[in-house]
Structure 1
């Protein structure tokens, strides 16, 4: 195999009746537009490195936008490498929705989205069409991106990929425009680009594409590639398949939902912009295993316009995504529709969530009362929440753990999270419930560890923690280093003696919440060493995406792994082994979990089989 073709693809010769990718593409549909001449061609390469290899020179790639894709005129954007020529960056129109709390009507607005790829350093200029800028901010604020405002232009530099919101307004009044803003997705340079005639690739080049029935059904072993400048007006569907991918820097636009992964295994989605789906979710993952969603950017304005919804699935990684949605950004459920079974080993990391309607994170609503299911081993790590605006109290909560339908939620870690001031809602809502979607209450919530969560703002309503009854409680809930407007809330903090610690958040906890603790950063959270609870044997497939979450009891704060095969990496914060293993074989990996009382180790037999 030619290794430059990237993991998971073969250059073997197939029957030419199906043709190469060009023939497959012809069968699927035809381009109805071409790249706009005034945007130029992709890429100003300031070095000699290829997309995959070469010296680490500064490099900038700006992709064209096809004629016919709506643009937005609120901003113009330019970018360059240091001392390079400025390049115009197309600004695309996205649509957002909020809810009028008096009428229930949806309020739809236009917003701006720009994309570029870079390596090294990139300088960016954002110019407002409205004239002089009083002040500007760049979010997430945790990135602390230095910027200058001069007249009608904001200038800043980046040295690593970022998903940003540039907002104009009045800093003294703390008023910035959240709707007529610019979202900039500064992506990494693509590591791999296929040849158009690769028989294992369904290739969409620059232009606007339609396909029969508005669905691209991806066969096992195939890659759908949306090149920069490609716009696909169709859903990409992985159904009952294995070892398939959706890659590129293209756009899925104005489709009935954007991507569907159902009853499938070893699926990867990377780098796509899902823009303005007419209905449905940007990404549905149902009863599937070994799914990775990376660097997905999602904007929705339709009803039930969720970002990524996971049902009854295992070993799922969501990372580096930017979700701006008209319903839940990330939702994790058990049974719904045709999906059945537990949901476990879900990792969401290093991502940015913006909910114009409903929750940034929602968990547990849907399940199967006839055969109760469990949602477990869930990790949210390195999350920035930029907005939560929900008038209905029942659907509030930046992080909502709301088991219904006899679901049990257990072993959840929410760590290293920054929640910026939002418009309307609650910081947390953990509620064992039965609402109008449920045939029965949930069974409970247990073993939840919230560590290093920061909220700075004034709009949060009282947070809610409520068990349903004595048999369906919340138990073993630990907050550590919870910071609200600069004050760490903990059980030994200075406060009136008759106040509860929850009053200091503020937060309401009912009598069915057991073993609720608030600790400062230095207090030991555990009194006994952890025990590793994840499997001792796992199997991966060579050159296919793989995720394995190391889990442990006892509130672990860090993890380690030694002896991993090539192609796999380890996240010490989350305990996740992930990547694409290079070659078949068997490895003995030593994994460990550490808490304030000690360290536990386990030998993990990791077998990588042939594709």
Structure 2
């Protein structure tokens, strides 16, 4: 049993949580066993469904069933999520009920979604990039999945009364309730006396599938700690706070309907990984994941539907100080009912100017963006203020669907007197590669430097495609038109020589020059992130000699994972490649004990 004093929980609460676990954990075991029995002797398919505890709001707009091929249909419970829309005439707006269902599987699973409204006229499953085949029979949509997906099933064009479905991978290495290093919540509704769970160094907070916790989770000045599982943080004042901490992991959790604040805040921390998070918010300033003055952060495979910025990256704000660098967001789906899917740079430190650098956004689906105010439009907003310098930003394989109201790109060196005390220092080095937009609601994009001393420099678009039309060298256009006219976008005189390249053009006349550090330290059995950075716009990366448990993402240059080898020093050769050639560098990687 955990020590209540070390967890921030009363002993009674810990005992109650553990007691609920014992009763409900057997339900998961029984469900898992039933799934195995239905899966057949090969055991290649598996389905796990979790209950929603009494007292947590559900939604009856849809009924959801799932099964493995040849197995029995199993009911998947449906949570009630909330989503917001701003009325441009009043600045406020209605809050709508929406639906969320979740299960775990491996192999193949068949899904049937039935609308309570009756016969379906039209249906779609998004992201559209997944191109998931489906059939409609009366009031039911059926489809098959062979890999984990986060989806929106939309009936008759309704974006609010839709079903969000999170088909997760099967959990591996889930901790047990008697592990002394685990704060364990089993299925059931849980609340702590002070509405906060403080996770100490070296501990894991585990929310089992079917567990719903109504308390904020805090990592404050700790190391080597995590929150994992398939449970839900519900109606919390803020969701998860990570501050002044190192080696923190967040994996598999849903943050549902926070009463206030952000789903995840990362402040002045290092080596943070957020993976497979699902976030829904409807309140004012209901951001998804905000990162302040932090380094070596990975956001991977998240689903964000938020009532303010889905992903926001800043330097100084509140009590967080320092540069912000080496932030990777990949394999994710963003839906901003208000403000930006991606927002970078607004907040900083006028008295001691800071730098935001080495940001990578890769393999992202933007499902929606709706913002009436021109100052806050942009699916990708790069807006340094407060004397921030923003440099070395890469956005690649970005697919933007037909959003409701806003701009594709808003790139401004800004001085917004509502939020800033000084103008940003500038933007230097933005590479947007393989970006598509398909839709009719986008306002013209904006690229505006503040003045000659606060300019936007070295911006390269490569293979930009808008409504099926490539924008760049070789396209058909009047000779006196700019490429920005064809987007369309407005770029002022303080945007220095933007380039629009086709997919085969060389991005540079020189091979890359690696700029990332030649030394790094990982902690055994803890999350680790190291981003290879290089000049001259490399298009691929590699690393040889990595210790067990670490992998290289060749598209982004991110080395990540959990070091599993014995402690010691590893000599790793990292490389960056463009059309001219390949640069290499030796990385001395030390793996230390926790």
User: What TM-score do the two structures reach when normalised by structure 1?
Assistant: 0.93
Q: What are the Cα deviations for residues 37-84 of structure 1, in whole angstroms up to 9, with x where unaligned?
A: 99996435544899xxx9861100001110111110110000001111
> Aligned equivalents of 1:20 and 1:157: distance in 2?
45
Q: What are the Cα deviations for residues 265-289 of structure 1, in whole angstroms up to 9, with x where unaligned?
A: 0000000010000000000000000
Give yes or no for the alignment of 1:552 onto 2:539.
no
Alignment CA distance shift 1:449-1:23 (3 Å): closer
Aligned to 1:527: 509
> Aligned equivalents of 2:538 and 2:503: distance in 1?
14
Aligned to 1:542: 524
Are the equivalent residues in 2 in contact too, given 1:29–1:209 (CA < 8 A)?
A: no
Aligned to 1:503: 485
Aligned to 2:328: 347
Aligned to 1:599: 582
Are the equivalent residues in 2 in contact too, given 1:25–1:204 (CA < 8 A)?
A: no
Q: What are the Cα deviations for residues 135-181 of structure 1, in whole angstroms up to 9, with x where unaligned?
A: 21000000000101111100001011000000011xxxxxx111100
Give yes or no for the alignment of 1:474 onto 2:463.
no
Aligned to 1:43: 32
Aligned to 1:454: 436
Aligned to 2:363: 382
Unaligned runs of 5+ in 1: 1-13, 170-175
* Residue among 38, 52, 57 paired with 1:70: 57
Are the equivalent residues in 2 in contact too, given 1:375–1:407 (CA < 8 A)?
A: yes
Are the equivalent residues in 2 in contact too, given 1:22–1:196 (CA < 8 A)?
A: no
> Aligned equivalents of 2:473 and 2:3: distance in 1?
71
* Residue among 237, 247, 253 paired with 2:234: 253
Are the equivalent residues in 2 in contact too, given 1:295–1:320 (CA < 8 A)?
A: yes
Displacement after TM superposition at 1:377 (Å): 0.2
Q: What are the Cα deviations for residues 223-255 of structure 1, in whole angstroms up to 9, with x where unaligned?
A: 000001100001000000000000000000000
> Aligned equivalents of 1:374 and 1:41: distance in 2?
52
Displacement after TM superposition at 1:438 (Å): 0.1
Q: What does 1:210-225 correspond to in 2, within 5 Å? A: 210-225=191-206
Are the equivalent residues in 1 in contact too, given 2:563–2:591 (CA < 8 A)?
A: yes
> Aligned equivalents of 1:262 and 1:86: distance in 2?
44
Alignment CA distance shift 1:37-1:575 (3 Å): closer
Q: What are the Cα deviations for residues 296-342 of structure 1, in whole angstroms up to 9, with x where unaligned?
A: 00000011000000000000000000000000000000000000000
Q: What are the Cα deviations for residues 455-494 of structure 1, in whole angstroms up to 9, with x where unaligned?
A: 0000000000000000000000000000000011003321
Aligned to 2:296: 315
Displacement after TM superposition at 1:192 (Å): 1.6
Q: What does 1:234-249 correspond to in 2, within 5 Å? A: 234-249=215-230
Q: Give SS of 1:179's match.
A: coil
Q: Give SS of 1:84's match.
A: coil
Displacement after TM superposition at 1:194 (Å): 1.0
* Residue among 419, 422, 440 paired with 1:440: 422
Q: Give SS of 2:535's match.
A: coil
Q: What are the Cα deviations for residues 90-119 of structure 1, in whole angstroms up to 9, with x where unaligned?
A: 011000011001111121000000000000
Q: Give SS of 1:503's match.
A: helix
Moved more, 363-372 or 21-30: 21-30
Q: Give SS of 1:213's match.
A: coil
Aligned to 1:173: none
Are the equivalent residues in 1 in contact too, given 2:38–2:70 (CA < 8 A)?
A: no
Unaligned runs of 5+ in 2: none
Give yes or no for the alignment of 1:414 onto 2:401.
no
Quote the RMSD (CA, aligned, Å). 2.3
> Aligned equivalents of 1:160 and 1:17: distance in 2?
39
Q: What does 1:121-200 correspond to in 2, within 5 Å? A: 121-169=108-156, 176-200=157-181
Aligned to 1:117: 104
Aligned to 1:272: 253
Alignment CA distance shift 1:154-1:446 (3 Å): same
Give yes or no for the alignment of 1:206 onto 2:187.
yes
> Aligned equivalents of 1:242 and 1:38: distance in 2?
33
Are the equivalent residues in 2 in contact too, given 1:43–1:63 (CA < 8 A)?
A: no
Are the equivalent residues in 2 in contact too, given 1:49–1:57 (CA < 8 A)?
A: no
Are the equivalent residues in 1 in contact too, given 2:38–2:72 (CA < 8 A)?
A: no
Give yes or no for the alignment of 1:588 onto 2:571.
yes
Are the equivalent residues in 1 in contact too, given 2:252–2:275 (CA < 8 A)?
A: yes
Q: Give SS of 1:131's match.
A: coil
> Aligned equivalents of 2:363 and 2:547: distance in 1?
26
Are the equivalent residues in 2 in contact too, given 1:96–1:110 (CA < 8 A)?
A: yes
Q: What are the Cα deviations for residues 422-445 of structure 1, in whole angstroms up to 9, with x where unaligned?
A: 000000000000101000000000
Aligned to 2:275: 294
Alignment CA distance shift 1:304-1:42 (3 Å): farther
Q: Give SS of 1:142's match.
A: helix
Displacement after TM superposition at 1:391 (Å): 0.3
> Aligned equivalents of 2:459 and 2:38: distance in 1?
50
Aligned to 1:400: 381
> Aligned equivalents of 1:30 and 1:333: distance in 2?
40
Q: What are the Cα deviations for residues 395-449 of structure 1, in whole angstroms up to 9, with x where unaligned?
A: 0000000000000100000000100000000000000001010000000001100
Count of aligned pairs: 588
> Aligned equivalents of 2:543 and 2:533: distance in 1?
12
> Aligned equivalents of 1:99 and 1:246: distance in 2?
33
Displacement after TM superposition at 1:596 (Å): 1.6
Aligned to 1:172: none
Give yes or no for the alignment of 1:570 onto 2:552.
yes
Displacement after TM superposition at 1:592 (Å): 0.3
> Aligned equivalents of 1:487 and 1:55: distance in 2?
48
Q: Give SS of 1:212's match.
A: coil
> Aligned equivalents of 1:18 and 1:327: distance in 2?
36
Aligned to 1:391: 372
